Amino acid sequence: MKKLLLVLFIIALAVSPLVVFTLVTQGKSEGEGEGKIAFASDRDGEDAEIYIMNADGSNQTRLTNNSAGDLWPCFSPDGTEIAFTSGRDGDLEIYIMNADGSNQTSITNNPAGDIRPSWGP
């Protein structure tokens, strides 16, 4: 599993200068594979958007689409939501969305930049 993630990371760096990955195994043990990877990429334009794909690189799906950058996706512990940073409201704020990209909602709102969300236990 670690070798697969390293290979995917190296491929992504070659394809785009901006790629950030996070992995969730969605209830399976690490050795079983079948995880989902969320990542940010600027492959479709000037700003980064959030994507999701299977651990083998298949089924790449864009989840966000706006004129500002969306970065640092992080799966919730149960794999049902993704937290991420977005500049769509004029400054960097933390958002959450369902793992399918629906229900994108800002959970911070202040003049300071809020970045790199992380889920705790």
Condensed to tens digits (0 to 9), the pLDDT of residues 64-104 reads: 999 999 999 999 999 999 999 999 999 999 999 999 999 99
Closest CA to 52 of 88, 94, 8: 8
Asked if residue 56 is part of any domain, the answer here is: yes
pTM reported for the whole predicted model:
0.73
- CA 74 – CA 28 distance, rounded (Å): 17
Asked if residue 117 is part of any domain, the answer here is: no
- Containing 106, the helix (H) or strand (E) segment is strand 105-106
What's the total number of domains in the chain?
A: 1
Spatial neighbors of 8 by CB under 8 A, at least 6 apart, are 21, 37, 55, 57
Structural domain boundaries enclosing 48: 2-106
20-67 per-position pLDDT tens digit = 555 544 443 333 334 899 999 999 888 999 999 999 999 999 999 999
